[in-house]
Chains A and B, each alone.
Chain A
Amino acid sequence: MTRWERSVPVYGVPVFTRGFWALVVLIAAGLVLTVYREVVGLGGSVSGMSDPFAWGLWKTFNVMVLTGLGSGGFAVGIAAWVFNREKLHSVLRLAVLTSFLAYSTGLTMLGVDVGRPWNMYWLVAPWTWNLHSPLLEIAACMTLYATVPLFLENLPPLFEYLIYEKPKYRGLAEACERAMAKVYPFIIGLAYILPIMHQSSLGALMILGGNRVNTLWQTPFLPLIYVWAAAFLGFNCVVLCLLLAKLAWKRDVDPSVLAELNKLTVWTVYCWTAFRFLDILFRGKILHVFTDGYYSILFWTETALILGSAYVLSTEKARKLATMFRAHLLCALGGMIYRFSPTTLAFHAKDGATYFPTAVELTVSLSFVGIAVLAYLVAVKKLAILPGTNADWLKMAKYEEQVKPGIQLTGYAPVEH
């Protein structure tokens, strides 16, 4: 059985594949439309948003849903570093990479969505902040997270790349690596507290929506339930990436790590669902679960997808990778619907106004997802991100010797501390 021991790049595969160029086309189309949007404004043919339905895909999907999916960085990180789940260290690089890509594209998307982005510069003047605004908390905290702790967490693979492949920068990279190791606990502490803060604030956003958010979703505990959902979405995303890597590049999987991640997902989901039902029960709204027509169906769709998948993951069936993959996919889908509901699916707009994204909105939204996917594909091929074995590393070393002679990938003596 495979045991993941170290991260190994996906070697011997071309970077510039047909998929790569397809993504480039999508991104180019998205960027052109972004410029168009900046010139003509948000109305008319650009977006389906209106005064009663003032938030569209760019905020509600690219920021509120996808940063949830990109929460692996803190969810897996806390399990590994704070609760000392030693095995999970092998997938941490993957987790922080998905987080960084989700956050950086989400934040850029936020800049495209707002009408007067030039006023964002007030972020550098904390004394002008309205500390009561959940959105301010998000804007400040997410930016800080993505640019400092999360960015730093993603540097070690880059340092490694420099050390192996760019002898000129080797000394500098090694010095940076040592410096980072010294302050690492302070960095990752920040990398865990900040997302807990802003992921919960994403839920707090809709508290100000008052009774326009259906009562099954609207609760004073919305922030807690929201950040909790981010945790299992993060696990889902990491497992899905691992299984897709197996599918695409035949990377071996370590069943014990996957089992650990499944266990975490299952218990996070069980507690989350129980808390959600208790919250509805104590608010005296339990009958709405059955009698609210469309909203009841939506509620049960979420619950069935999330809880059902978690149940499957808890059984022996989930040992089969295909079943595990489907379960995580459906669980992620349910979680994403949950994160999408308060702003859109369970939002009663004035006079029954509805929202449906336009082609422009969809293209731009997908193109920003495309940027993240493209960056991911390049990163895992160039850097040591995806987990593998020492044997994999030695195989890669042999392969690289032929391609790039003079690169030393093995035979390092331990440094005395």
Chain B
Amino acid sequence: MAMTRREAFKNLAKGSLPILAAGCVSAALPGIAHAEEEKKAPKGALGLLYDATKCVGCKSCMVACSQANGLKPDTRIDGLHQAPPALNYFTKNIIKLYRTADGSDHSYFKQQCMQCIDPGCMNACMFGGLRKDEETGVVWWYGGKCVGCRYCEIACPFHIPAFQWDGFNPKIVKCELCRDYIAKGAKQPGCSGVCPTNAVIYGRREDLLKEAKRRIAANPGKYFQERVYGEHDAGGTQVLYLSRVGFDKIGLPDVGENSIPSGLKYSHMVYKWLALPIAMYAGMVMFAGRNLKEHTHHLVEDQKKTGLRPQL
């Protein structure tokens, strides 16, 4: 029995209705419930304040970091000096140099995990291999839940997590603000403990932010954009930066004030309570069921004519 055009349209319209209705409902749901709150740093959030204008590029912090974390120094460049080209699975902390081509301007800069308030890596992680400490807000890696998919590397706007590319049983390596080192009794992380110029200091995020703002106020015109990088960037980070040269020059991308996970908010709306998928499923089962009956009827008719077993 062939379907007329009219029937086809009717069928189409009927099929789309529940799907459309479900779409409207699930789009309205987040409004009816409540808007997802913006994530705030925990009360005891710890962090670092790095002032690039004070850094002399001595790299003591890199050595201290390796020691505090029990990492083998990355001397692959010449077999002698600890001079990794970038953060990697030997290196949780690095000092780099920005310099213009003619040498007229330069600045050292430090890279390590920014300890985001709403981390992209943690949002990406399938089973919670990356976790955020509830008290201190430190983002740390838990090997028992990591499948080594490296999605954290895609999701981190600061390019921090490093994957162990060699060998069996690889790890994700990133700064955990010397979480284990401090648990063993250290007063502060390796890097801030040895800095001769106090270019990097350790403390509660609140206090560090106050100190950074005090420095900006005390030195008008000294700091780039007269602002603290990390106060709002990427939804706020617990590691804060001050710089004289542009932030983009020292490895801090312009990522805006929304956190990385907030990019998925529309997707979360679609999946709210699984309402839309369930409604679509119900609609499709209904129509498939009806069409199956018709189809089976055709099959039996055919079999009468041909004597061949019907095929589903």
Interface positions of A (Cβ within 8 A of B): 5-7, 38-44, 49-52, 54-55, 78, 81-84, 86, 89, 93, 113-117, 119-120, 122, 128-130, 132-136, 139, 156, 160, 163, 177, 180-181, 184-186, 188-190, 192-193, 196-197, 200-201, 204-212, 220-221, 223, 350-351, 384, 390, 393, 409-415, 417
The closest CB in chain B to the CB of A132 belongs to B123
Interface stretch of the complex, out of B158-166, B178-186, B207-215, B219-227: B158-166
Interface contacts (Cβ under 8 Å), in number, total 227
Pairs A–B under 8 Å by Cβ, sample size 14: A51-B87, A84-B11, A84-B291, A119-B146, A128-B145, A134-B267, A189-B284, A189-B285, A207-B267, A209-B155, A350-B159, A390-B306, A412-B303, A414-B303
8 further contact pairs, Cβ within 8 A, besides A193-B281, A210-B157, A415-B300: A38-B168, A40-B167, A55-B150, A83-B12, A115-B149, A119-B144, A193-B280, A208-B263
Interface stretch of the complex, out of B55-63, B98-106, B125-133, B189-197: B125-133
Residues of A within 8 A of B286 (CB): 185
Interface positions of B (Cβ within 8 A of A): 2-3, 8, 11-12, 15, 86-88, 120, 122-129, 143-151, 153-155, 157, 159, 161-170, 253, 255, 260-261, 263-264, 266-268, 277, 280-289, 291-292, 294-296, 298, 300, 302-304, 306-309, 311-312
The closest CB in chain B to the CB of A47 belongs to B165
Residues of A within 8 A of B154 (CB): 54-55, 205-206, 208-209, 212
B166 touches A129 (CB 8 A): no
Q: How far is the CA of A201 from the CA of B264 in the complex (A)?
A: 10
B307 touches A50 (CB 8 A): no
Residues of B within 8 A of A223 (CB): 267
Q: Given contacts A42-B165, A119-B145, A390-B308, is CB(A54)–CB(B150) below 8 Å? A: yes
Residues of B within 8 A of A163 (CB): 309
Residues of A within 8 A of B123 (CB): 130, 132-133, 208
Residues of B within 8 A of A188 (CB): 284-285, 288
Residues of B within 8 A of A210 (CB): 120, 157, 255, 260, 263
Residues of A within 8 A of B161 (CB): 51
Residues of A within 8 A of B157 (CB): 210-212
Q: How far is the CA of A5 from the CA of B310 in the complex (A)?
A: 10
Residues of A within 8 A of B3 (CB): 84, 86
Q: How far is the CA of A136 from the CA of B286 in the complex (A)?
A: 29
B264 touches A136 (CB 8 A): no
Residues of A within 8 A of B128 (CB): 128, 130
B312 touches A119 (CB 8 A): no
Residues of A within 8 A of B12 (CB): 83
Q: How far is the CA of A49 from the CA of B264 in the complex (A)?
A: 26
Q: How far is the CA of A133 from the CA of B281 in the complex (A)?
A: 22
Main secondary structure of the interface of B (DSSP, over half): helix
A129 touches B163 (CB 8 A): no
A39 touches B150 (CB 8 A): no
A129 touches B167 (CB 8 A): no
B15 to chain A, nearest CB (A): 6
Residues of A within 8 A of B166 (CB): 40-41, 43-44
Residues of A within 8 A of B129 (CB): 119
Give which listed residue, B120, B153, B168, B298, contacts A39 with CB less than 8 A.
Answer: B168
B170 touches A180 (CB 8 A): no
Residues of A within 8 A of B88 (CB): 51
Residues of A within 8 A of B126 (CB): 122, 129-130, 133, 135-136, 139
B264 touches A132 (CB 8 A): yes
Residues of B within 8 A of A197 (CB): 277
Residues of A within 8 A of B125 (CB): 130, 133
Residues of A within 8 A of B147 (CB): 114-117, 119-120, 122
A81 touches B124 (CB 8 A): no
The 9 closest A-B pairs by CB, nearest first: A115-B148, A43-B165, A189-B285, A54-B153, A116-B148, A185-B289, A208-B155, A54-B150, A115-B170
B15 touches A82 (CB 8 A): yes
B155 touches A81 (CB 8 A): no
A136 touches B263 (CB 8 A): no
Q: How far is the CA of A86 from the CA of B8 in the complex (A)?
A: 11
B68 to chain A, nearest CB (A): 22
Q: How far is the CA of A82 from the CA of B14 in the complex (A)?
A: 10
B67 to chain A, nearest CB (A): 23
Q: Given contacts A114-B149, A130-B125, is CB(A208)–CB(B260) below 8 Å? A: yes
B86 to chain A, nearest CB (A): 7
Residues of B within 8 A of A133 (CB): 123-126, 151
A215 to chain B, nearest CB (A): 13
A70 to chain B, nearest CB (A): 20
Q: How far is the CA of A192 from the CA of B285 in the complex (A)?
A: 10
Q: How far is the CA of A185 from the CA of B289 in the complex (A)?
A: 5
Q: How far is the CA of A393 from the CA of B304 in the complex (A)?
A: 16
Residues of A within 8 A of B268 (CB): 132
Residues of A within 8 A of B169 (CB): 116
Q: How far is the CA of A193 from the CA of B280 in the complex (A)?
A: 7
Q: How far is the CA of A64 from the CA of B294 in the complex (A)?
A: 36
A228 to chain B, nearest CB (A): 14
